[in-house]
């Protein structure tokens, strides 16, 4: 396993391989639409020909499999508790996206032990060479593993709604990230906005506060409307992106993904590094 990783690393430095861009979808307050955003964004990327893996990292309370109406027998908890290898917990969803379920129905939050972390790092490193994008859907809980993934990814999508409680929690979350001196790029999305203007104003206020108080530039990706198609899609256990391709929410999501892909930083960043794994390893070994 280790030799394999070493070989891959060599290929990577020769430019013979590329490494996935890693993205964590986070919020301060829970229930703002992270999981729906993650799965539908993954589908949009896949439709553009990208190889995408969705990693449901809401361990013990995951719902990505529910949102796509799939039943996954093996989850990340099987990996942690029963030593099942990663290739048996990766499933294929619509548009050939891959996903790893977080499992649900646990009474306690699973914390990763040292051995599981080592195994996770080795598996994640290999996955990086197989995909263009790895999206982590982060739960509302702040376990150590959650925070470490969040601080290691290349990009963070912060979801808020126009509600003041959601905005202040999004700010606190970003403040935490910035104070950890982590170098990720922060992108803002306002979900469930009744009016586009209100959403933009929310994001601009957050952007300004980040600059003024933390001297951190964050980028606005866009606003998603309050749209009854989301609830309908959730109830029908199909993503809105595939079920309602002409809905306002799908159109706006498409725009957000285009904006992200067109961002200078995204296209400029070299994909011939695996800094994600390096960062993650150093955080876990701290």
Give the interface with Mg ion as residue ranges (CB under 5 A).
34-35
Pairing state of beta strands 98-100 and 90-92?
antiparallel
d(CA 248, CA 228): 10
Shortest Cβ distance from residue 42 to Mg ion (Å)? 14
**Binding of residue 141 to ligand ATP (CB under 6 A):** no
**Binding of residue 58 to ligand ATP (CB under 6 A):** yes
Scanning 3-11, 31-39, 123-131, 268-276 for contacts with ligand ATP by CB under 6 A, the matching segment is: 31-39
**Binding of residue 266 to ligand ATP (CB under 6 A):** no
Q: What are phi and psi of 41, to 5 degrees?
A: -65, -40
**Vertex 56: Cα angle to 50 and 60 (nearest 5):** 170
**Binding of residue 192 to ligand ATP (CB under 6 A):** yes
Cβ–Cβ under 8 Å, residues 43 and 239: yes
Strand extents, DSSP E, 150-218: 155-160, 185-193
**Binding of residue 223 to ligand ATP (CB under 6 A):** no
Q: Residue 28 corresponds to which tokens in the numbers above?
A: 């301060």
Cα of first residue to Cα of last residue in the chain, in angstroms, is: 23
Pairing state of beta strands 133-138 and 98-100?
unpaired
Per DSSP, the three-state class of 61 is strand
Scanning 42-50, 123-131, 219-227, 261-269 for contacts with ligand ATP by CB under 6 A, the matching segment is: 219-227
Q: Determine which residue in the list 23, 24, 32, 54 makes contact with ligand ATP, applying CB under 6 A.
A: 32
Site string for ligand ATP, 8-27 (x = CB under 6 A): -------------------x
Shortest Cβ distance from residue 246 to Mg ion (Å)? 25
Site string for ligand ATP, 77-116 (x = CB under 6 A): ----------------------------------------
**Binding of residue 33 to ligand ATP (CB under 6 A):** yes
Q: What are phi and psi of 124, to 5 degrees?
A: -65, -40
- Interacting residue ranges for ligand ATP, rule: CB under 6 A: 27, 30-36, 58, 139-140, 191-192, 224, 226-227, 230-231, 234, 249
């Amino acid at each position: 396993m280790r030799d394999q990783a070493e070989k891959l690393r060599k290929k990577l430095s020769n430019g013979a391989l590329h490494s996935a861009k890693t993205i964590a979808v986070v919020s301060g307050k829970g229930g703002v639409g992270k999981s729906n955003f993650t799965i539908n964004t993954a589908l949009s990327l896949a439709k553009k020909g990208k190889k995408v893996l969705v990693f449901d990292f809401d361990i013990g309370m995951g719902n990505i499999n529910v949102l796509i109406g799939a039943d996954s027998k093996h989850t990340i908890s099987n990996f942690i508790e029963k030593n099942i290898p990663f290739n048996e917990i990766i499933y294929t969803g619509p548009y050939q996206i891959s996903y790893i379920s977080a499992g649900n129905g646990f009474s306690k939050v699973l914390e990763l032990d040292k051995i599981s972390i080592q195994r996770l790092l080795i598996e994640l490193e290999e996955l990086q060479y197989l995909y263009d994008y790895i999206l982590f859907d982060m739960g509302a809980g702040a376990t150590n593993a959650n925070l470490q993934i969040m601080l290691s990814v290349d990009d963070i999508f912060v979801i808020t709604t126009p509600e003041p409680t959601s905005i202040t929690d999004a700010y606190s979350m970003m403040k935490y990230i910035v104070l950890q001196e982590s170098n990720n790029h922060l992108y803002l999305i306002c979900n469930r906005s009744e009016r586009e203007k209100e959403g933009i104003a929310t994001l601009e206020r957050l952007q300004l506060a980040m600059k003024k108080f933390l001297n951190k530039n964050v980028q606005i990706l866009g606003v998603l409307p309050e749209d009854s198609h989301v609830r309908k899609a959730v109830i029908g256990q199909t993503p809105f992106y595939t079920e309602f391709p002409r809905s306002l929410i799908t159109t706006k999501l498409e725009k957000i993904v285009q904006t992200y892909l067109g961002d200078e930083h995204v296209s400029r960043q070299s994909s011939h590094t695996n800094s994600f794994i390096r960062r993650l390893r150093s955080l876990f070994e701290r």
